[in-house]
């Protein structure tokens, strides 16, 4: 990760810490035999937090790494970066 933006890093870490906190809550809920639907809601919330963190990460990647690679004079580097983006997009849209 080539993030030089401290605010970006803070936002990303906050999102990950929130997801960790929610996972801890889910663990406690399972141990306490909490109603399944309530656990499922917390799992969905965690997935949402992680998707948001992933979007933030990919956006930063485009702004720093992508910007340089897409303007590269090396055509193969540009094509490789496009392939990388397509793979990342496919992985996040599952």
**Rounded to whole angstroms, how far apart are CA atoms 22 and 37?**
15
Q: How far is CA 22 from CA 6, 49, 67, 92, in A?
A: 24, 9, 34, 20
Q: What is the residue extent of each domain of the chain?
A: 6-92
- Using the predicted structure, report yes or no on whether residue 2 has a pLDDT greater than 90: no
Q: What is the rounded average pLDDT of the residues 2-30? A: 91
At residue 20, the pLDDT reads 98
- Using the predicted structure, report yes or no on whether residue 1 has a pLDDT greater than 60: no
The answer to whether the beta carbons of residues 31 and 23 sit under 8 Å apart is: no
Prediction pTM value: 0.79
pLDDT in tens, 32-90: 999 999 999 999 999 999 999 999 998 888 888 888 888 889 999 989 999 998 998 88
At residue 11, the pLDDT reads 93
Class of domain 6-92: mainly alpha
**Rounded to whole angstroms, how far apart are CA atoms 64 and 50?**
21
H helix or E strand, kind and range, residue 46: helix 36-61
């Amino acid at each position: 990760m080539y993030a030089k933006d401290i605010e970006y890093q803070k936002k990303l870490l906050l999102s990950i810490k929130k997801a960790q906190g929610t996972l801890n809550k889910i663990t406690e809920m399972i141990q306490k035999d909490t109603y399944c639907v309530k656990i499922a809601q917390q799992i969905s919330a965690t997935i949402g937090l992680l998707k948001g963190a992933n979007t933030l990460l990919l956006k930063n990647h485009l702004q720093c790494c992508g910007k340089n690679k897409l303007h590269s004079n090396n055509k193969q580097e540009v094509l490789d970066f496009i392939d990388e983006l397509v793979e990342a997009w496919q992985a996040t849209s599952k």
